[in-house]
Structure 1
């Protein structure tokens, strides 16, 4: 089994900002380290390189950390104590790029280099050697240069099952380009393919719709939604609906005066 790991500072347990967080949230250090570990593990498994978690809502962060108390108090404490850095583009995991992101980036580049070398040595074993992907797969006619996706017709399904040629990909990317931003990069397409493979077309379309409703035009916002849902175990739209229903039930219980621990 492949082991995925992330680095933490060994001084974390006695660091002043951890002690401050413990006092602020009235929770012992060991518990908080475990809950922060969930947040960091989510970032690592998401392939996060720069620590940017965008405008991830406080409740989403609380769900990832399995924090049952006030999500707003949690977000405020994480920011005030230096575990999250706020910026105009959203929140960043403090120190993530230096401690974990650089290694993740180096590993990704190394994998890309090996894949490129393999494709050059074995051109007949890899599909998608074209350097252009037509926009018409997303409902347009012109082409997007500089990507590594093979040319296919709109809504064409590849006989070899290549997910890059699946109609679901066409539908999701068409929605993204029409509703969010017509400019897409190769990395964006690759990341979206990963989400489609894990959670399916409908979840990706819902994330795009949420971003449109919130008038967010950054890929980081859509990606943040999908990363959060993936970390919560969402694999289809029914899972997403079940989580939302549970959240509404919890809110209703709190309004009725019940305490959820």
Structure 2
């Protein structure tokens, strides 16, 4: 005997209406009707409640209704997978929240020597050039100089090099200190190759008649490291806040390219 027929017989035997039973099981009258006409099946929890309500053994309700048993087995498996899915979504949400929290404190905007691999350095020759001081009318001679383009790649997490730029922080007679600033990105494709330039300051410095070695010639190039630096930076002690990425000996061996302009 199918479970729908059992429910109907037990209900009518006790002179209960479908409405009465629906109220007992906190379901609709229409659902009780579907159970009795085998158009729907109660779930496992409801089957247990039916067993207790009518004082019937569970095996009596289930043993002759194979379709009902298969439905319950399928429903049980579905609930199991839904449970796993909920656990997965909760775990994923947790990691996303943690990732957003960490990224807000993560310094991906400034790359250090250990974050990059230099793939190429291009050296451009700027020949000596004469010009006139716009303020005094005095003719000035810009000394020969060098500009560098440093190509590099990075595997640092969250770093996107689509908006990378270099900034010269400090220079003296022997060393140049530059900084690499980048964008940060959590999702989507990230650009991992970029370049920065070490520009010449000879025009600006000559314009204001600054003295000293204002060119990039015969100088080491250092990369600023914010993790090494402190609030009271001694700019003369470059190794305390920057790392050597290209020595003057290495740079002097590079072939020269003429300035296209």
TM-score bracket, normalised by the shorter chain, equals under 0.3
Greater helix proportion: 1
- Give the TM-score normalised by the residue count of structure 2: 0.23
Larger Rg: 2
- Give the TM-score normalised by the residue count of structure 1: 0.23
